[in-house]
Amino acid sequence: MSNHSTTKSILKKALLRKKKKSESTFKYILFLLHLWLGLIVGGVICFIAITGALYVFKHEVEDLSVYSSIHREAPAESIVSIDVVQANFEASYDKTPHKITIPEKTNHNIRVQFTERGKAGITAFADRETGEIIGELSPSVPKFFNTIMFLHRWFNMENFKLGRQITAACTLVFMVLLISGLILWFPKTGKKNAWRNKFSFGFRYKFSVWNRDLHINMGMYAFIFLIVVAWTGIFFTYGWVKDITVNSLKPAELRQEASHSHNQKSQRKPSGGNQQKKKALEVNLDVLLAEANQHLNYTGDLSVMLSGKGISSPTIRKKNTHNLLGAQLYDDVKFSDKGKLMKVDLFKDRPLYQKVGSMIKPIHTGEILGLKSKIFAFILSMFAAYLPISGYIMWFKKLKGRSEKQSA
pLDDT of residue 194: 63
pLDDT of residue 198: 66
For residue 4, the 8-state DSSP code is H
Each residue's pLDDT tens digit in the chain (408 positions)?
556 677 777 777 778 888 888 888 999 999 999 999 999 999 999 999 999 999 999 999 999 999 999 999 999 999 999 999 999 999 999 999 999 999 999 999 999 999 887 677 899 999 999 999 999 999 999 999 999 999 999 999 999 999 999 999 999 999 999 999 999 988 776 565 666 666 666 666 788 888 888 898 888 899 999 999 999 999 999 999 999 999 889 887 777 665 555 555 555 544 444 343 445 566 899 999 999 999 999 999 999 998 766 677 899 999 999 999 999 999 999 999 889 999 999 999 999 999 999 999 999 999 999 999 999 999 999 999 999 999 999 998 888 776 766 665
Contact (Cβ atoms closer than 8 angstroms) between residue 120 and residue 143? yes
Residue ranges of E strands in 306-383: 315-320, 329-335, 341-345
Question: How far apart are alpha carbons 406 and 400 in whole angstroms?
Answer: 10
Q: Are strands 315-320 and 302-305 parallel, antiparallel or unpaired?
A: antiparallel
**Cα–Cα distances in angstroms (integers) from residue 284 to residues 86, 101, 304, 314, 342, in the given order:** 11, 16, 12, 11, 16
The size of the chain, in residues, is 408
Question: How far apart are alpha carbons 225 and 407 in whole angstroms?
Answer: 43
**What's the distance, Cα to Cα, between the start and end of the chain in Å?**
13
pLDDT of residue 191: 62
Question: How far apart are alpha carbons 157 and 47 in whole angstroms?
Answer: 14
Q: Helix H segments across 94-247?
A: 140-154, 160-185, 194-198, 207-213, 219-221, 223-234, 239-245
CB atoms within 10 A of CB 313: 19
Question: How far apart are alpha carbons 103 and 300 in whole angstroms?
Answer: 7
DSSP symbols for 183-211: HHHSPPTT-TTHHHHHT---TTS-HHHHH
Selection from 42, 37, 40, 35 nearest residue 395 by Cα: 35
Task: Specify the amino acid at residue 237.
Answer: T
**Cα–Cα distances in angstroms (integers) from residue 138 to residues 88, 255, 333, in the given order:** 19, 44, 32
CB atoms within 10 A of CB 349: 10
Question: How far apart are alpha carbons 65 and 80 in whole angstroms?
Answer: 24
pLDDT of residue 200: 67
**What are the backbone angles phi and psi of residue 341, rounded to the nearest 5°?**
-65, 125
Question: How far apart are alpha carbons 142 and 121 in whole angstroms?
Answer: 8
